[in-house]
Structures are given as structure tokens and as C-alpha cells.
Structure 1
Amino acid sequence: MRVARLASTEPTYCRWKNHYQGMDLPGVKRMKVLSQENAVLKRLLAEAELEKAALRELAEGNF
């Protein structure tokens, strides 16, 4: 009964199992690294968009 020990719902466990099933350890590690890189890139994009919006407002004189 892994679902109970992980304190997750059965659909979550099944989704995880389907996602990672058949993947070897290096593949899982690589996916983790890519997920972390993706999070960093999303944060950088959000910061760039905020800066762009601030510059646009400054250029329009609405500050």
C-alpha cells in the first residue's frame, strides 16, 4: 500500500507511476535537473516581463 505511506491520492500515484515507469535512474535525475532549469528560466522570464512593463509605463509617463 504505497499510496498510504506516501500520503498521496491514488490518482497522483498512478500519474507518477505512468510518468516515470521504465525510466532508469540517470533519466530520472536528468528530468529533475531539467525541471529545475525550467523553473529558473520561468522566473527569469517573469522578471523580464515585469521590467518591460515598468519601462513601458515609465516611457508613457504613467508612473
Structure 2
Amino acid sequence: MSKRERAYWDQNGGEECWREFGVERKKVPTGFISGKGEFYDSVLKVPLHHNLMMVFRVGKNWKP
């Protein structure tokens, strides 16, 4: 594996992804939308057995 590829995987491996999305506070505001189109600020607030999708802030004009 080249040094460039190795550096990429050192920066984006499983442990780093777990820290980013599973443990530490997110760098950008996030929320969750249920299959019925309702927004929630925590995954724990989404009703049981609802489909859900995580959404991220992408731009400067977004307001919750």
C-alpha cells in the first residue's frame, strides 16, 4: 500500500469513524427525520418501529 493510501486509511479507519459518529459530539448540527416526515433532534425521540434517516446541516441558511 502506498504512503498516500495508508495515510488516508490512518485518518479514516473504523476507530476514527466510531469517534466521529458514535461517541464524540458532532462537528455539525444533526437531526433525524422519520418515515412520516417528522423531525427529531435525538435518535431516542424517534418512535419505535419508524424508519428514520440522519440529516446533517449543509449550508449557512439552515435553521432548525
TM-score w.r.t. length of structure 2 = 0.27
- Which has the larger strand fraction? 2
Q: Higher RCO, 1 or 2 (CA under 8 Å, sep at least 6)? A: 2
Higher-Rg structure is 1
User: Which structure has greater helix proportion?
Assistant: 1
